Amino acid sequence: MGAAAVEVPGIVKLKCSVKKYDWGKVGKESGVARLYANNSGVETNDEEPYAEFWMGTHDSGPSYVVVSSGVESNLVNLKDWIEQNPSVLGDKVLRKWGSNLPFLFKVLSVAKALSMQAHPDKDLAVVLHKQQPLVYKDDNHKPEMALALTQFEALCGFVSLEELKNVVQNVPEIIEAVGTACADQVLHVGELDGEKKLKEVLKSLFTELMGVSNVVISELLAKLTSRLKLKREVRELTDKEELVLRLEKQYPGDVGAIAAFLFNYVKLNPGEALYLGANEPHAYLHGDCIECMAASDNVVRAGLTPKYRDVQTLCSMLTYKQGLPKILPGVPLNTYTVKYVPPFDEFEVDRCILPRETSTIFPAIPGPSIFLIMSGEGRIQMTSSEECVCEGDVLFTPANAEIGLETSSGLKLYRAGVNSRFLI
């Protein structure tokens, strides 16, 4: 007789974690607060910030499987549950990542700027975790993608050489911070000098600026804000100048406010996404987004934060690529579903908007999925199980299962899974 087939669990509901970082939107203003309240049944506090809603197996914010036995329900850590039911990941995912879910799925509600930061590549993450395990809590890289739910603002990557020269010519406080020799390097370098030289000049400028003492930065920011406010009385400020004033108000005396001139200021419309590879500088500024990333919580910070700053590591690790980031509009799969596929193995995201009295199918794929119900209500089903769903529900579905969704009143949801290019 052959071995008995392993029974794969059906759809399971998850109870998920919330993070109350001080940059989050407060109380009823926060989409994260609403999702968490509906998901957990816990009443939220109107005075507290609710910044991030985490779905996955990362130890810093684990999800729990709701296991029903008769009239009682127990909560089992999703990581432990997957270790007990490894077939839910599918063979290919198990071979590459073991019994760990390779992605971390989040919703963010951003009221004020997050730190100016970058995420290390795999090799650097191993080194940082070994050196400072209390700061860098795992040894994984953290490529990520942000998909706008509302208009979503971010600083992302360094501006082009042309814009950088413009900044040096028009922001005297930066010249005062880094010195005329460093500023002249920027003004005299050109595309013909080659990519290596351009990166050296940009790295020199950024490193000099980030290394200026807090006392000097505070004085320069006082000059800068005074100058911009006087200018505003005569003519309209640029979007970047208005942003710098806003950042200085949020984080008084912080070098990140003046460093913002060096970065691309990006405004995503709902349904647009951007992805960030390792060692790319960024800071999310305002709005709500879906975020998906490799399963890591490693962040190297250098500005716009009261948290630990590792300026030397940040300045040495960046790629110093210049130019605008690529915006992903998503690829329609059918009438209702759009797929966002970044160039990373660990994850992809689908957005599905079902009108009243409609249904759709998510075809079977050889990897697991997490579904988040953003609004509405309906039913989700696979061969062996089905669940009624509504806003705030989070569901884990196993590999190789066709998933059906239907609604009578309308349903909006997001799915995170392993990148389909990897699974093929």
What are the φ/ψ torsions at residue 287 (nearest 5 degrees)?
115, 180
Question: Given the structure tokens 């413009």, which residue do they identify?
Answer: 166
With both helix axes pointing from N to C terminus, report the angle between 195-210 and 161-170 in degrees, rounded to the nearest 10: 40
> What is the spatial distance between Cα 82 and Cα 94, in angstroms, rounded to a whole number?
10
Q: Which two tokens stand for residue 12?
A: 């399971």
Cβ atoms of 206 and 262 closer than 8 Å = yes
- Beta pairing class for 300-303 and 52-55: unpaired
Is residue 249 classed as helix, strand or coil in its secondary structure? helix
Give 388-408 as a DSSP string: EEETT-EEEE-TT--EEEEES
Is residue 194 classed as helix, strand or coil in its secondary structure? coil
Q: Is 95 a catalytic residue?
A: no
The single residue of 34, 301, 309, 351 carrying the catalytic annotation is 301
From the list 206, 193, 127, the residue with the least C-alpha distance to 167 is: 206
> What is the spatial distance between Cα 269 and Cα 82, in angstroms, rounded to a whole number?
36
Q: Where in the sequence numbering do the catalytic residues fall?
A: 301
